[in-house]
Structure 1
Amino acid sequence: MNAFFTALAFLTRIPVPVRMDPRDWPKSTVYYPLVGLVIGVLLVLMNEALSLLFPPLVRSVLVTAGWVFLTGGLHLDGLMDTADGLGANKDREQTLAIMKDSRVGAMGVLAAILLLGVKVSALTYLEPAIIPLLAAPVAARTGMTAAIAFFPYLREQGMGLNLREGLSPLRLGVALTSGTAIIAVVAGWWTFLILGGTALVIGLIARVVLRRLGGLTGDVYGCMAEAVEAAILLLWLAAGDPV
C-alpha cells in the first residue's frame, strides 16, 4: 500500500499514514486512476452536501474551490506554467526557462481563469453531477499515466523521468485497465465518449508541446490533467447529461 499512499500524497493534500519512500515513487503511477476515484468520491460528497444549502452557482464555485484544494493546485500550477511558456512564443530554451520560473505571467493567469470558469459554469448546469464528477478525475489521471508512458520526457533528470522509468508494461497495463474499468462502472456505455475525449485532449496537447519542445515535462502532465477534467464536464453537458 505504500506506493498507493505515495501517489495519494503527491496528487492530493489528503494526509497519509506513512512517509513517502523514494523506492515507492516509481511504482506509484499504477495507482493514479485509483487516486482519481478518491478525488471523485470526495467531490461528489461535497457537491451533494452543498446542493442542500446553496443555489447551483454558489455550489459550483465552492465545489471547484474544493477541487483545487484537494489537489493542492498541483495540476493548475502546471497548466499556468505551460500556458506561460507556450504563450510567450519564444525559442525552446527560453520557453523552458519561462516554464521553470516560479512567477506566473499573464498567459498563465488567463489560462487558470478560463479553465476554472469552464468548470464552474459546467457544474452549475450539471445536476445531478455524480457521474462526471466521478469520471473526470479518473480519466484525467489515467490519461496522464498514458502520457507519461507513451510520450518522451524532456529533461534528463526530474520526477517525471523516474515515473516513466518505473512504469513497466505490466504497471501501465494495470493502470489503464483499472482506470477504464472504474469509468465503465461509473458511466456505462458512455465510457467510449469519456475515453475518446481524454485521448483527444491528451493527443492535441502532446502534439503542440512536442512540436515546440520535443518532449513533455511535469508541468505539461498537470496541464493535461486539468484540460481533461474540464473537457469531460463539457462533453457530459453537451451530451445532455445522458444517463
Structure 2
Amino acid sequence: MNAFWQAVGFLTRFPVPKRAQTLEGWNGSPKYYPLVGLLLGLAVWLAGSLFAWLFGHASLPLVAVFIVAFWIYATGALHLDGWMDLADGLGSQRGRERALEIMKDSRVGAMGVVAAIVLILLKVAAVQQLAAAGGLASLAAVPAMARAALLAAIRFFPYIQQNGLGSGLRGGVTPAVLLVNGLLALAASFGIAGWQGVIAFAAVLLAGWLFGLYLVRRLGGFTGDVYGALIEGAETLALLVLLVLMDGRLL
C-alpha cells in the first residue's frame, strides 16, 4: 500500500500514514494517480456542494471561487507551480537550455503570474457556469481525466531531468497499468458525466498528446514542472469541454 499512499501524499494534502512518509514505493505510485484524482474530484464535488448549500444558487460566482480555492489548496498548488514555471520558460522565447534554467528558478516571472491568473479565471468561470447548468457533479471526474493523461505522458514521452522526482516513474507505467487506469478514468467520466464526460476525456487525451509532441520538440521532453502544467491544462480543458457540451452547443 505504500505506493498508493505515496501517490496520495504527493498529489494531494490528504493525510497519509506516517509509515508511508518515505520514498518506498515511489516508482510504483503512478499507477494510482487516476484513482487519487478520482478521490480528489469527489472531495472537490462534496466541498462544492457544501459551498452551494451555504451560499445558495444566487451566489454561484462566490461558490465557484471557493471551489477552485479548495481545489488548489487540496493539491498544495503543486501543479499550479509547474504551470507557472512552464509559462515562464516558454514565455521567455529563449533557447532550450535557457528555458529549462528559467523553469528551475524558484522565482516566478511575469509570464508565470499572468498564466496563473488566466488559468484560475478560466476555472472559476467554467465551474460557475457548470454549477448554473446543474453540472456540479461532473467536477468529480475531471481530476481523474487529467491524471490519466499524465500517465500517458509518463509512458510515451521522455523525462529529461536525470535526478528529478519523475526520473524513476516511467518503469511503473506498464501497458497493463496504462490500460487499467485508462478504463478507470473512462468509466468515471461516463459514470459521472455521461457521454459529455467521455468526449471531454477524449479531448484531454488528444490535447495531452499534442502538448507532449510540442514539448519534445521545444524542450526535448518533460520535467516535473511540465507534468504539473499538463495536469492544470488538462483539468481546465476538461471543464471547458464539459461546459460547451452541457450548454448544448455541440450536442
After TM superposition, the structure 1 = structure 2 runs for residues 31-110 of structure 1, keeping only pairs within 5 Å, are 31-54=32-55, 55-110=59-114
Aligned residues: 243
Partner in structure 1 of residue 156 of structure 2:
150
Which stretch has the larger CA shift, 182-191 or 91-100?
Answer: 182-191
TM-score between both structures, scaled by the size of structure 2: 0.92
Paired amino acid for 2:32: Y
Decide whether the 8 Å contact of 2:196 with 2:245 is kept in 1: no
Moved over 6 A (4+): none
Code of the residue aligned with 2:3 in structure 1: it is A
Distance 1:240 1:190, change over 3 A: closer
Write out aligned runs for 1:155-166 (5 A).
155-166=161-172
Match of 1:207 in 2: 213
Give the secondary structure class of the aligned counterpart of 1:120: helix
Amino-acid identity (%): 44
Residue 228 of structure 1 corresponds to which residue in structure 2? 234
Q: 2:122 aligns with which of 95, 118, 138?
A: 118
After superposition, give the CA deviation of every residue in 1:46-73 in whole Å (9 maximum; x if it has no partner): 1111112221000000110000000000
**Contact 1:201–1:227, Cα closer than 8 Å, also in 2:** no
Paired letter, 2:27: P
1:99 aligned partner, one-letter code:
M
CA-to-partner distance for each residue in 1:176-223, whole Å, 9 max, x for gaps? 222222223222333431222112321232122111111111111111
CA distance in 1, matches of 2:214, 2:5: 33
Q: 1:81 to 1:228 in 2, by over 3 A?
A: same
Find the aligned partners of 2:113 and 2:212 in 1 and give their Cα distance: 21
Instruction: Give the Cα separation in 2 of the matches to 1:144 and 1:136.
Output: 13
| Deviation at residue 131 of structure 1 after TM alignment | 3.6
| Structure 1 counterpart of 2:130, one-letter code | L
- Check conservation: 1:75, 1:225, Cα contact below 8 A: yes
Return the letter of the residue paired with 2:28.
K
- For structure 1, the 5+ residue unaligned runs are none
* CA displacement at 1:147 relative to structure 2: 0.6
**Matched residues in 2 for 1:184 and 1:25: separation?**
30
Relative to the length of structure 1, the TM-score reads 0.94
Q: Shift of the alpha carbon at 1:241?
A: 4.9
Shift of 1:144: 0.6
> CA offset at residue 175 of structure 1?
2.2
Which amino acid in the other structure matches residue 72 of structure 1? G
